[in-house]
Amino acid sequence: MNTNNDTIQGLVGGDYKYGFVTDVEADAVAPGLNEGVIAAISRKKNEPGFMLDWRLKAYRHWLTLQEPRWANLRYPPIDYQSIVYYSAPKKAGQGPKSLAEVDPKLLETYERLGIPLHERERLAGVAVDAVFDSVSVATTFREKLAELGIVFCSFSEAVQQHPDLVRKYLGTVVPYTDNYFAALNAAVFSDGSFCYIPKGVRCPMELSTYFRINAANTGQFERTLIVAEEGSRVSYLEGCTAPMRDENQLHAAVVELLALDRAEIKYSTVQNWYPGDAQGRGGIYNFVTKRGLCKGRESKISWTQVETGSAITWKYPSCVLLGENSTGEFYSVAVTNHYQQADTGTKMIHIGRNTRSTIVSKGISAGHGQNSYRGLVRIRKSAENARNFSQCDSLLLGDRCGAHTFPYLEAANPTARVEHEATTSKIGEDQIFYCNQRGLATQDAVNMIVNGYCKEVFKQLPMEFAVEAQKLLGVSLDGSVG
Amino acid sequence: MTPLLEINQLNATVEGRQILKGLSLTVHAGEVHAIMGPNGSGKSTLASILSGRPGYEVTGGSAALDGEDLLGMKPEDRARKGLFLAFQYPVEIPGVNSTYFLKAALNEVRKARGLPELDALEFLEFIKAKMKVLELDPSLLNRPVNEGFSGGEKKRNEIFQMAILEPRLAILDETDSGLDIDALRIVAEGVNRLRKPDNAQVVITHYQRLLDYIVPDYVHVLHDGRIVKSGGKELAYELERRGYDWLTSEARPVSPELTTA
Ligand SMILES: Nc1ncnc2c1ncn2[C@@H]1O[C@H](COP(=O)(O)OP(=O)(O)OP(=O)(O)O)[C@@H](O)[C@H]1O
Ligand SMILES: [Mg+2]
């Protein structure tokens, strides 16, 4: 039927609510990248010598690498010399700070974003670390967590207060040699979150980091490291937004997770970086390396991501299943609307015996969006009785968008059991009409169908975030069918 | 009295092909009309156009619900105004829970009627009785809309939805096809119970058998895009006996006045 296009096209184009800019004075280095800039970043952060050495090694390695171009993504060359690699709100200052010291303008920003930073918001039951441009501005609930021996603080602070832990674990899961963007991040990262859960401790609340890019022409390079000792458990949530700007901004983060014997880490992301406008102008380039190492036996790492933002997404949260009986999971919803492009998926590397992995990926494309799932399941020879189940579904709204899947499987052990299911569906005009005929408006019908489609992933999220994610999806697809 | 549905000289095309060729029909509140006619004569097309399915182009004529122009309205507004179509081929909507779907639909319709929305508990209470009448397997409601339903279950589910939404004008497109004999009786019984002085039903069918259960006030024969004969319920028996040949060979449109009481 000829009206398909009009009908499905109109629905795209909800407003990005987080596009405002906060007017704070910034302490920034000049644009460009060289050893001097890296030394300046390290100096500003008052880092011990081992950090600067590591950064410089990473930088020198980065110079030998080529930007990867194998992903199904199209974008103009990135000029690494025009980026500002460090920008911090002036008043934030250095080191640990209580909320009372935080610039009220920043607190207001987070209020506007719906992130309560005040300890009195205890009822929310979520400890938050907020990263504004390059530095962490506040971490809540710290004392309460400290009573249990949990360290939850900004990365800068961890370098000062727990240098031994940082030195021991930094780069052990994602070495700076890993890839182009991981090397860049290692050289210039300015902050992020650090989290250490001691042996046997179950973290009593959600830990959450909220990333915000504010300054113009600034890259954000944060690094998160979570170590879960034997028998411990933690659930961690990350959220991201940025102002609306016409130029593209680079975000290249690294997340490292380490789970020891019987430890469990659940890492959830609701990524809502500015996606660019309806014509494809502006938006964040999101090149992120996330990896978890299930080092201990019976350990478990679970990634859940809801990716609605960014102009470009290049991201493959992965699990290395080294410990016997360890488990890796990846649950993903990725939305591309307008001219957004996403190349995202996971890698499950089975090394230990009886390791298991589950992959559930739901791609949604609307407008001119291009959505690619790229996944690798590798079963090494040592991985006796490994199992993987993968399900990759694509949903198309309209016929100007695209969905692609690139599943790779390498099984070197004959006892491996691997199942892969994939579907591609289109929200059919007849489905929308059926809903209309029962009194539902087209937008509501689309939301209903999309939410139904994502249910399996949403139910992995902590309750209140699942509700948020559902709303976010509605906004992202607003107007994608008329 | 304003008719509930008034169709006047309706002309419509699909993919550039003319399907409806000057179709007129008037339905008053309290009436049941049956529409019969050979395959491809335009019965489902008529239902589609009245309910606003995209892809059809009206090239002439008019259709009004309660005196209000239907053809300019969005499909959801037609539904909210009380037009219901029981689909010949109900659509599966994977991932969308039936109960959730129905509650959302009912609340849209209630909003339009100025009634308060029902919460989950009130809704469950509300549908209990309707489920009994249609002897609907409650487990169907926990499944995605129509997904994997058998042909008969889908049809029964359509009438269940009708029972919930309580439309003013219901168009039933071959609801009987795919139903076994017991189901046919149950579904017809359900439809009859929904009959009220202020609503009306248009029943599209190929078989006189359905009309033993849902007794029509009028029977119309649709052929080649227009109504070529109208009569009382005995016309259905005649058609069963004689087929359509005797009508289609001398097919000519009847005037609109003849199609109503
Ligand atoms: N979307 C479409 N594209 C092309 N032709 C169509 C379309 N919809 C209907 N038609 C044609 O219009 C004519 C009438 O179809 P319609 O479905 O209304 O018939 P019907 O009377 O309901 O038949 P049946 O008794 O078989 O259900 C048929 O020739 C059909 O092929
Ligand atoms: Mg038909």
> Tens digit of pLDDT for each residue in A21-39?
666 666 777 888 999 999 9
Give the per-residue pLDDT at A1: 32
pLDDT > 90? residue A176? yes
Give the per-residue pLDDT at A400: 85
Give the per-residue pLDDT at B66: 94
DSSP symbols for A414-477: TT-EEEEEEEEEE--HHHHHHHHHTT--HHHHHHHHHHHHHHHHHTTS-HHHHHHHHHHHHHHT
**By alpha-carbon position, which residue is closest to atom 26 of ligand 1?**
B39
Give the per-residue pLDDT at A274: 78
For residue A390, which amino acid is it?
Answer: S
Residue of chain A with shortest Cα separation from B56: A1
B36: helix, coil or strand?
strand
pLDDT > 60? residue A152? yes
CA A409/CA A232 separation, integer angstroms: 32
Q: Can you read off the two tokens belonging to residue A200?
A: 């046997």
Q: Which residue has the higher pLDDT, B9 or A274?
A: B9
Best probe of the A interface among B50, B58, B87, B96, by most A CBs < 10 A, is: B96
**By alpha-carbon position, which residue is closest to atom 9 of ligand 1?**
B45
Give the per-residue pLDDT at B250: 56
Q: Which of A115-129, A227-241, B199-213 has the highest mean pLDDT?
A: B199-213
A51-91 pLDDT tens trace = 999 999 999 999 999 999 998 989 888 899 988 888 776 65
Nearest to A190 by CA among A118, A85, A93: A85
Residue of chain A with shortest Cα separation from B164: A438
Give the per-residue pLDDT at A482: 46
Residue of chain B with shortest Cα separation from A430: B91
Number of domains in chain A: 1
A455 has a chain B CB within 8 A of its CB: yes
Give the per-residue pLDDT at B49: 97
From A3-12, A126-135, A166-175, A455-464, the region with the lowest mean pLDDT? A3-12
Residue A379's DSSP bridge partners are A350, A411
Residues of B with CB under 8 A from a CB of A: 51-55, 74-76, 78-80, 84-85, 87, 90-97, 100-102, 104-105, 108-109, 112, 144, 161, 165
Is A444 in contact with A478 (CB distance < 8 Å)? no
Pick the atom of ligand 1 nearest to B206's CA: 25
Pick the atom of ligand 1 nearest to B41's CA: 21
Residues of chain B with C-beta less than 8 angstroms from the C-beta of A421: none
Mutate to test the pocket of ligand 1, among B17, B39, B44 (most ligand atoms within 8 A of CB): B44
Residues of chain B with C-beta less than 8 angstroms from the C-beta of A425: 94
A446-475 pLDDT tens trace = 888 888 888 889 888 877 677 777 777 777
Q: Decide if A7 is inside a domain.
A: no
Kindly give the distance from the C-alpha atom of residue B173 to the centroid of ligand 2, in angstroms, as a whole number: 7
The stretches in chain B having pLDDT less than 50 are 251, 259-261
Kindly give the distance from the C-alpha atom of residue B46 to the centroid of ligand 1, in angstroms, as a whole number: 10
Q: Decide if A9 is inside a domain.
A: no
pLDDT > 50? residue A121? no
The interface predicted TM-score (ipTM) is: 0.94
> Among A3, A431, A439, whose Cβ lies nearest the Cβ of B54?
A3
Nearest to A404 by CA among A474, A452, A455, A334: A334
Query: What is the domain range of residue A246?
Result: 20-437
The rounded mean pLDDT for chain A is 83
> Among A428, A437, A442, whose Cβ lies nearest the Cβ of B79?
A437
Q: Decide if A387 is inside a domain.
A: yes
Is B51 in contact with B85 (CB distance < 8 Å)? yes
Q: Decide if A313 is inside a domain.
A: yes
Give the per-residue pLDDT at A7: 32
Residue of chain B with shortest Cα separation from A482: B74
pLDDT > 50? residue A93? no
Q: A448, B105: Cβ pair inside 8 Å?
A: no
Which DSSP symbol is given to B71? T
Q: Decide if A477 is inside a domain.
A: no
Q: Decide if A447 is inside a domain.
A: no
Pick the atom of ligand 1 nearest to B55's CA: 1
Which DSSP symbol is given to A218? B
Give the per-residue pLDDT at A240: 63
Indicate the pTM of the whole model. Answer: 0.80
Give the per-residue pLDDT at A127: 62
Residue A3 C-alpha, separation from nearest chain B C-alpha, in angstroms: 6
**By alpha-carbon position, which residue is closest to atom 18 of ligand 1?**
B42
Tell me the mean pLDDT in the region A153-175.
94
Torsion over CA: A471, A477, A478, A482 (sign): negative
Kindly give the distance from the C-alpha atom of residue B14 to the centroid of ligand 2, in angstroms, as a whole number: 14
Q: Which residue has the higher pLDDT, A15 or A175?
A: A175
Give the per-residue pLDDT at B28: 97
Q: Which residue has the higher pLDDT, A200 or A276?
A: A200
Burial class for A64, CB neighbours closer than 10 Å (0-12, 13-18, 19+)? exposed
Q: A435, B100: Cβ pair inside 8 Å?
A: no
Kindly give the distance from the C-alpha atom of residue B159 to the centroid of ligand 1, in angstroms, as a whole number: 23
Check if B223 has its Cβ closer than 6 Å to any atom of ligand 1. Answer: no
Q: Which ligand does the CA of B37 lie closest to?
A: 1
pLDDT > 80? residue A207? yes
Check if B40 has its Cβ closer than 6 Å to any atom of ligand 1. Answer: yes
Q: Decide if A228 is inside a domain.
A: yes
Q: A438, B94: Cβ pair inside 8 Å?
A: no
Q: Decide if A367 is inside a domain.
A: yes
From A123-127, A261-265, B80-84, the region with the lowest mean pLDDT? A123-127
Q: Which ligand does the CA of B41 lie closest to?
A: 1
A284-302 pLDDT tens trace = 889 999 999 999 999 999 9
